[in-house]
């Protein structure tokens, strides 16, 4: 496989991605071994995660797989039209149960699936401040949810002070060309058509995902530097894209063949973040167990299977490990300052 690392949507030319793929792969391998007798283990690590020619070998130091070492609340923020489905399926719908059995705390924050990022930022602020004051958050934004999370953190200092990290899960950080090529009448229907359990909000979700607006926003706003940022990119092999998503996949391939059917790989990266990896799953398969909920749709969603239990735990394990390293580095810095 050729080199994979893509440049993120520009914000500051001095900021570069940190390549964390080797360590994340090692954690994924360790977690996968623990699932050895389950259906999730049917995927070889080499099939689940891309290995680029520019990628270092998986780092082999011991991987901790015990109880949580940090008291964190992992909040998964949903994407487009997710509120229409939230009563039936949410990101990592049942995979979160595995996390809870291990002692980790997680929630799903369902934003308005047809509203702008500004609208949803206010909603995120409202929900997060409703949790006990002691909670410290890791925000895992899926698709547009990653954009909404960044807007919330930049806009509301109150939640910024309680958040320690952000993970983009196939996030539309740089927008999507699909917004540019979607017919105007479809955009109108998306924004205004009455749908069950789906309030339209301000109807500006797609407007928030226009690439020119996303790039402008990123150039005008500095992400809080005290937080840790991570990016996980969905990048399926062509044969790993579900039938229902292949048209969009081919449309995006005109811009860049490296896409997940909704977002280009280059647009799925938070500037300055740690790149966890490129996942061999399409945009929906990454987090949404749709065929488990609706088996009759398997003909159209024929590539919806993915070892999401392993993926979610690996993300949480990696984030915790990196946050512990940051705490240790900060303590060492303070000790040196006190000795000076």
Question: What does pLDDT average to in each consecutive run of 10 residues of the chain (340 residues)?
Answer: 48 67 94 79 86 75 94 96 78 93 97 94 97 96 98 96 98 96 82 76 92 96 96 97 97 97 97 97 96 92 95 98 92 64
- The total of other beta-carbon atoms located within 10 Å of residue 99's CB is 19
- Residue 161 has what pLDDT? 94
CA 158/CA 147 separation, integer angstroms: 18
CA 267/CA 256 separation, integer angstroms: 11
CA quadruple 214, 217, 221, 224: dihedral sign: negative
Strand partners, 234: 279
Q: Which CATH architecture has domain 18-339?
A: 3-Layer(aba) Sandwich (3.40)
Q: Which residues contact 38 (CB under 8 A, 6 or more apart)?
A: 309
- Residue 1 has what pLDDT? 42
CA 31/CA 23 separation, integer angstroms: 12
Residue with tokens 């109807």: 203
Q: Which residues contact 300 (CB under 8 A, 6 or more apart)?
A: 242, 243, 244
- Residue 164 has what pLDDT? 98
Q: Is 133 helix (H, G, I), strand (E, B) or coil?
A: coil
- Residue 317 has what pLDDT? 98
- Residue 39 has what pLDDT? 61
């Amino acid at each position: 496989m050729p080199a994979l690392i893509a440049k993120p949507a520009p914000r500051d030319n001095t900021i570069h991605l940190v390549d964390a793929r080797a360590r994340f792969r090692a954690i994924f391998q360790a977690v996968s071994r623990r699932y050895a007798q389950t259906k999730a283990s049917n995927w070889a690590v080499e099939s689940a995660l891309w290995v680029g020619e520019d990628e270092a070998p998986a780092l082999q130091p011991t991987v901790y797989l015990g109880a949580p070492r940090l008291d964190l609340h992992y909040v998964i923020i949903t994407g487009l039209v997710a509120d229409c489905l939230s009563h039936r399926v949410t990101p990592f719908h049942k995979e979160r149960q595995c996390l809870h059995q291990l002692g980790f705390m997680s929630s799903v924050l369902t934003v308005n699936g047809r509203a702008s990022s500004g609208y949803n930022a206010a909603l995120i602020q409202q929900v997060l401040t409703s949790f006990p004051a002691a909670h410290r958050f890791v925000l895992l934004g899926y698709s547009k949810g990653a954009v909404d999370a960044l807007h919330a953190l930049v806009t509301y200092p109150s939640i910024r002070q309680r958040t320690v990290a952000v993970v983009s899960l196939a996030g539309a950080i740089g927008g999507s060309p699909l917004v540019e090529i979607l017919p105007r009448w479809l955009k109108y229907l998306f924004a205004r058509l009455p749908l069950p359990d789906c309030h339209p909000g301000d109807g500006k979700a797609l407007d928030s995902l226009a690439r020119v607006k996303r790039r402008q926003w990123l150039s005008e706003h500095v992400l809080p530097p005290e937080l840790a940022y991570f990016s996980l990119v969905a990048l399926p092999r062509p044969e790993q894209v579900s039938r229902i998503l292949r048209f969009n996949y081919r449309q995006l391939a005109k811009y860049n063949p490296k896409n997940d059917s909704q977002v280009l790989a280059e647009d799925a990266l938070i500037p300055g973040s740690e790149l966890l990896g490129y996942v061999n799953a399409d945009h929906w398969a990454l987090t949404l167990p749709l065929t488990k909920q609706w088996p009759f749709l398997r003909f159209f969603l024929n590539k919806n299977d993915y070892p999401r239990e392993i993926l979610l735990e690996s993300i949480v394990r990696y984030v915790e490990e990196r946050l512990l390293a940051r705490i240790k580095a900060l303590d060492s810095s303070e000790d040196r300052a006190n000795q000076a």
